[in-house]
Amino acid sequence: MSSILVEQKAQSDSVENLSDSILISATYDGDKKKAVLKFYEPKEKKIYLWEDNTNHRPYCLIRRDKVSLETLRELRARKDVADIVDIEKLDLRGDRKIMVAKVITTNPLAIGGGVDSIRSITTTWESDIKYYENFLYDYEKGLIPGAFYRIQNSKIVPVEYDIPANVREALKKGLSRVDGDSASKIIEWAQLLGQPLPDIKRVALDIEVVPPEENRLPDPETADHRVIAISFVSSDGLKEVLLLRRKDIKDGQNVLGPEVNIRWFDDEQELLNAIFARINEYPFVITFNGDEFDLKYLCNRAKKLGIYEEQVPIQLGRDWAGLRRGVHIDLYKTFINRSLQIYAFGNKYSEHTLNGVAEALLGKTKIELDDFIGNLPHYELANYCYNDAQITFDLTNFSQEILMKILLVIARVAKMPLDDASRVGVSNWIRSMLSFDHRRMNALIPRKDELQEVGGASTEAIIKGKKYKGGMVVEPKSGVHFNVAVLDFASLYPSIIKVNNLSYETVRCVHEECKSNKIEGTEYWVCTKRRGITSLLIGSLRDLRVNYYKPIAKSPNLTKEQKDLYNVVSQALKVILNASYGVMGAEIFPLYCLPVADATAALGRNTITATINRCKELDIEVVYGDTDSLFLKAPSQEQIKEITNWASDKLGIELDLDKVYRYVAFSSRKKNYLGVMPDGIIDIKGLTGKKSHVPRFIKDAFYETVEILSKVQSTEDFEKAREDIRNDIRKRARALKAKEVPLDQLAFTIMMSKEIEDYKGTKPQHVRAAEQLKIKKGKEVKAGEVISFIKTLGSNGVRPLELAKKEEVDTEKYMEYLRSTFDQLLDALGYDFEEILGARTLDEIFWGGQS
DNA sequence: ATCTGTGGCCACCAGC
DNA sequence: GCTGGTGGCCAC
């Protein structure tokens, strides 16, 4: 028999059939010479390993500089070769005839370990074409991670899901307007993304280890210290803490609820075995920093204690910790992904720590310890550890498990195993997505040096040090404007890439006759003969989101599950689409092509400029605009209709009415405004008062004023608002001067983007504060963490919050900061800060109006 | 080892 | 005191 199916626990169970399951990943077992595919079966909620020694074919490595195009075409046509990859770089190692070849390939199901392990191989080179002894799984089947398959009579069969009737209807309407290639691509996406998102059975864990000394973390490499506690929280209701009983430690008081099961162990080895048994029960294991700490520590500790390797379910890689049979998701790596941070989680968190993320997304925090962790009584340790596992689990559970679902959708779109997708950035998602289609159409993936031949930038950036010119920002008309309609282009850049056929092989293409198809404002031209591959892929994804997923998510007669699915897919597509333009201009992206990014932005500027001109013709006043949006002053329904129809007809891009503000207040600054919606809800953009580093005290004052302004309905109301604002600011200014404001409310909170030592050149205030904290308290603020500090008189001008005293607060500085924060706001309304207080000097602000 | 882009505002640093 | 540069945070 060619294939056997291995169940998660019973290692040698041979099964020939497997009901609908999600493909997780595929690897190659070099010893057995077999492909191993990992599946998740959602009914039994188990992982199955499918071993297969069929359906894999050799790689073909070529030296592209030595191989002719004809030979390449022949190679592509051969059925006994799974993939053609070419050598990026060859290094001769010594006088042995061994070359180290850097290979370009990113097939997620490439046998040998996925994305990165194939990139560098050692081989002896005998000819310009070499069949590599390792194998690729039969990618021509188009196996997609995250998608459903079943196994019937030892064969892998894709599960066909019907496109729901309402999507089918929407598709029909839209598809009549696109070409055949796009239409089939869109249907393909719709079928893949319409597949259900099953429940994922999972357990979150967190471990505690005796630290070598206070404020120092145990080293997971050496794993010298005892594991003293571990907590599990799972999707099927498991809540437990495993504790190592230590003679020199008190029990303390149990504050955990009765639902939390506490298990005691006298022997650390038994504890570890119990931990591994639990891990084996779950197909998915969730940690926060498990790659670098928890799982790494457990694995190395087990080795140290002499536990047999086969009994340890963890496999350590260079910078990740995997599970032999399950899937490990390290949320630290997921939350550090900027794309997800901004587009999936609305930029709600900034600090990349468990506490920072959990506080922002869940409103839950870690338990603060006042004692050295090694001295904590057993039950207090249990409570602390349990809380961490609970928060970690909750991060995968909030908002209908949005995180797990979005990762699954991204795995499907990116054609990347879910655990890989959760660990890497957008450039790798998009690389994987594009590579998949290159292979399917038998196209060779271009090398960096080949792409470089397309050329450099054609425009000059406004900001020094940038590579090309970006979006256009319209000078705002300062003052208050009532009934402002905000229109924006739906997915502007992806739309431009679609409409204008932008791709690395179409911009500045080789055909003489295309050279007249110029992009205005640049020296570029675009191919008129062939459809560009990135244009097709990004364009079809865009169409799917804009024409189907966005409207369908809003439609009323949907089940809750359908609605959830549409929302999640729509979100995931937004993340991918938003990044698809950016990566084209990023050197690290393997398909980096500056002219594509440059041309996209140029066409964006042309689009918005043309629309502004059209508004002028229609007698509509444009008060502001930024990149893909226009703010129109009190347009009529007809005018809006006129302009949106025009955009759709003439530009081929949907211009949507996003919202109408009751009023908008612009200062003279770009990217700085305040808008009030009809229901009184306030949009604040870019104003200092909303920025995360601003002290609580200033934020509160700012938001109180905003609150007052939100009640304003008409021009006359502003008079009353002015009075209320004046009273409030005076009250707060007096409290500041009288040093009645608690210190923590005066703390600036700024992220350390680098380690302290890495700040060369200038030394900003927050870094100086971090230095003081390190010297005086031995507490180190690491990169990615936030430091709180107070602006003080003398001594460097700053003091970390922990060391500051009320008397040394630089009141004048804070007053100045308060004033500049309010200036942005009040400028727009035609007041000024001191005038509104009825005072001419700062001193009068403090004491004026007081009798 | 990891990394999507440019435009804009602000406070502060450091050199003159 | 002026000024260019840096760092942080934000808009899109």
SS3 A40: strand
Bigger pLDDT: A231 vs A35:
A231
Rounded distance in angstroms from the CA atom of residue A759 to the C1' atom of nucleotide B14? 14
pLDDT at A850 over 60: no
The C-alpha atoms of residue A189 and residue A540 are separated, in whole angstroms, by 8
Tokens of A472: 């256009």
Q: Which residues contact A180 (CB under 8 A, 6 or more apart)?
A: none
Tens-digit pLDDT profile for residues A251-305: 999 999 999 999 999 999 999 999 999 999 999 999 999 999 999 999 999 999 9
For residue A690, say whether its CB is under 7 Å from any atom of strand C: yes
Bigger pLDDT: A712 vs A23:
A23
Is A232:A278 a contact under the CB 8 Å cutoff? yes
Tens-digit pLDDT profile for residues A757-802: 899 878 899 999 999 999 888 888 888 889 999 999 876 789 999 9
pLDDT at A343 over 90: no
Nucleotide with smallest C1' distance to residue A343 CA: C12
Which residue do the tokens 């592209």 mark?
Answer: A64
Report the pLDDT averaged over residues A9-30: 71
What is the pTM assigned to this prediction?
Answer: 0.90
Range with top average pLDDT, A346-350, A368-372, A380-384, A810-814: A380-384
The C-alpha atoms of residue A780 and residue A23 are separated, in whole angstroms, by 43
Could you say which nucleotides of strand C lie within 7 A of any protein CB atom? 5-12
Tokens of A229: 């506690």
Q: What is the pLDDT of residue A791?
A: 95
Tens-digit pLDDT profile for residues A713-728: 777 777 788 888 888 9
Provide, rounded to the nearest whole percent, the portion of chain A with pLDDT above 70. 88
Q: What is the pLDDT of residue A717?
A: 79
For residue A753, say whether its CB is under 7 Å from any atom of strand C: yes
pLDDT at A522 over 90: yes
pLDDT at A30 over 90: no
Is A825:A707 a contact under the CB 8 Å cutoff? no
Q: Which residues contact A14 (CB under 8 A, 6 or more apart)?
A: A1, A4, A5, A6
The continuous run of DSSP H or E covering A615 comes out as helix A594-617
> How many angstroms separate the Cα of A262 from the Cα of each of A173, A259, A471, A733?
59, 10, 57, 53
> How many angstroms separate the Cα of A733 from the Cα of each of A233, A707, A719, A722?
48, 18, 21, 16
Bigger pLDDT: A30 vs A688:
A688
Nucleotide with smallest C1' distance to residue A750 CA: C8
pLDDT at A535 over 80: yes
Q: What is the pLDDT of residue A68?
A: 81
Could you say which nucleotides of strand B lie within 7 A of any protein CB atom? 1-14
- Show the beta-strand stretches assigned E in A280-406: 284-287, 314-316, 321-323, 327-330
For residue A759, say whether its CB is under 7 Å from any atom of strand C: yes
Query: How confident is residue A222, by pLDDT bands cut at 50, 70 and 90?
Result: very high
Asked which of A388-392, A517-521, A629-633, A770-774 is least confident by mean pLDDT, the reply is A770-774
Q: What is the pLDDT of residue A57?
A: 67
Burial A552-562 (b: 16+ CB within 10 A, else e): bbeeeebeeeb
Rounded distance in angstroms from the CA atom of residue A351 to the C1' atom of nucleotide C7? 17
Mean pLDDT of chain A: 86
Q: Burial of A173 by CB count in 10 Å (0-12 exposed, 13-18 middle, 19+ buried)?
A: exposed
Rounded distance in angstroms from the CA atom of residue A504 to the C1' atom of nucleotide B10? 38
Query: How many CA atoms lie within 13 Å of A703's alpha carbon, on the beta-carbon side?
Result: 10
Tens-digit pLDDT profile for residues A417-452: 899 999 999 999 998 899 888 877 777 778 788 898
Q: What is the pLDDT of residue A13?
A: 41
Dump the DSSP string for A140-207.
Answer: GG---TTSEEEEETTEEEEPP-PPPHHHHHHHHHHHTTS-HHHHHHHHHHHHHHTS------EEEEEE
Task: For nucleotide B3, give the residue with the nearest CA to its C1'.
Answer: A588
pLDDT at A547 over 50: yes
SS3 A659: strand
Rounded distance in angstroms from the CA atom of residue A833 to the C1' atom of nucleotide C1? 25
Task: For nucleotide C9, give the residue with the nearest CA to its C1'.
Answer: A691
Rounded distance in angstroms from the CA atom of residue A539 to the C1' atom of nucleotide C12? 20
Tens-digit pLDDT profile for residues A95-125: 554 555 555 554 545 543 333 334 455 666 6
Query: How confident is residue A67, by pLDDT bands cut at 50, 70 and 90?
Result: confident
Query: How confident is residue A56, by pLDDT bands cut at 50, 70 and 90?
Result: low
Pairing of strands A83-93, A98-103: antiparallel
Q: Which residues contact A48 (CB under 8 A, 6 or more apart)?
A: A5, A6, A7, A8, A15, A18, A21, A38, A39, A40, A41
Q: What is the pLDDT of residue A794?
A: 74
pLDDT at A681 over 80: yes
For residue A669, say whether its CB is under 7 Å from any atom of strand B: yes
Rounded distance in angstroms from the CA atom of residue A821 to the C1' atom of nucleotide B13? 22
pLDDT at A843 over 90: no
Q: What is the pLDDT of residue A686?
A: 94
